[in-house]
Amino acid sequence: DSNTLDKGFYSELLHIIGLVETKEGGKKLIQRKKQHDRNIGSLIENAISQIDSLDKISRLEKPELFGETYQEQLFNLGLELAITWMNRILFLKLLEAQLIRYHKNDLSWGFLNLQKVANYDDLNSLFFSVLARKPQERSQNLQQKLQERFAHVPYLNSSLFEPTELEQETICISNLRNEKLPIFPGTILKDNNGKKLTGEINTLEYLFAFLNAYNFSSDIGEEIQEENKRLINASVLGLIFEKINGYKDGSFFTPGFITMYMCRETIRRAVIQKFNNIKGWNCETMDDLYDKIEDKKAANDIINSLKICDPAVGSGHFLVSALNEMIAIKSELK
């Protein structure tokens, strides 16, 4: 079942973040690793190190909101930042997979790799100087080489790619040092001989290789993939982030079949209404609409003019389903 939590993916993702799942009194908890198991290469430990060395907690207006002790404050700040960064990266992995698939598996549309994102500075630029800006605005903020690397990356009008208040008060991902991280004992990564990879590896390189070892692009029942990669879809990611957040914000995960149905029904109706309003048509179904469309570019612009808002975004699962539906509608243009 593609909507079932992949324990291997979940455990290795926690390892890269710097967390571990434990069991106390029959209840599963997500916690920081024990002192002797911590590594500066994990996202949380790297973030904590930078927050501490830059003395960011003393500059917070209300540090007590993040815990009673200094160590609690460090951990909770590091955790919130790491989850924010990983949320963005996983959303982008889903987007990247859809772009590659939409362009007939042309891998040049990929952008989460070391060739295009060589370090945390590049990743920060991708977040805030590329995704958050329209293509014509990027030249003011990007070096020429980065403009070329990210030429295929679309503009996303989303608060997900705006610096959070906490990032503005503490650190961004560009503050992280390029460290190495020991490979997870149960890793999915293999060497050239087909054996599990061992040793240490640059964390960003590790993260990209780890994500690339899974299939983010399709659901079961679709075409067979050339590589036998385990499927990770938006449903699985939603389950993972619900577990990490521990329901503390009152956010609960909505299964994929529900978000897909809701997005399909609402967005397609909105598209039909949009065309009818602009063109003066009287279409009732998408087939009626497709039969009338003659100018694909103009139709694409009309679809792009739709605005979708999820005021209780949670894991972003509704928005991912909405993105998938928009891509599906565009792919059906005749």
Residues 6+ apart with CB under 8 A from 161: 88, 127, 128, 131, 132
Q: What does the pLDDT look like over 140-161, one tens digit per residue? A: 666 677 778 888 888 887 788 8
Q: What is the pLDDT of residue 141?
A: 60
The mean per-residue pLDDT over the stretch 278-307 comes to 91
Q: What does the alpha-carbon distance between residue 66 and residue 170 come to, in Å, rounded to a whole number? A: 13
How do 214-215 and 230-231 pair as beta strands? parallel
Report the pLDDT value the prediction gives residue 250, as an integer from 0 to 100: 43
The pLDDT value given to residue 151: 84
Which amino acid, residue 85? W
Mean pLDDT of all residues in the chain?
Answer: 85
Given 3-state DSSP classes, what are the helix, strand and coil percentages for the chain, each rounded to the nearest 5?
55, 5, 40
Average pLDDT over residues 74-98: 91
Instruction: Summarize pLDDT for 164-210 with one digit per residue, the tens.
Output: 999 999 999 999 999 999 999 999 999 999 999 999 999 999 999 99
Beta bridge partners of 196: 190
Q: Which is higher by pLDDT, 133 or 212?
A: 212
User: CA–CA distance from 102 to each of 42, 53, 222, 300, 332 (Å)?
Assistant: 33, 44, 14, 15, 11
Instruction: Tell me the C-alpha distance between 267 and 307, whole Å.
Output: 10
Residues 6+ apart with CB under 8 A from 333: 290, 293, 296, 299, 300
Its pTM surpasses 0.85 = no
Provide the pLDDT for residue 168: 95
> What's the pLDDT band for 96 if we cut at 50, 70, 90?
very high
Q: Which residue has the higher pLDDT, 153 or 224?
A: 153
Q: What percent of the chain has pLDDT over 90?
A: 51
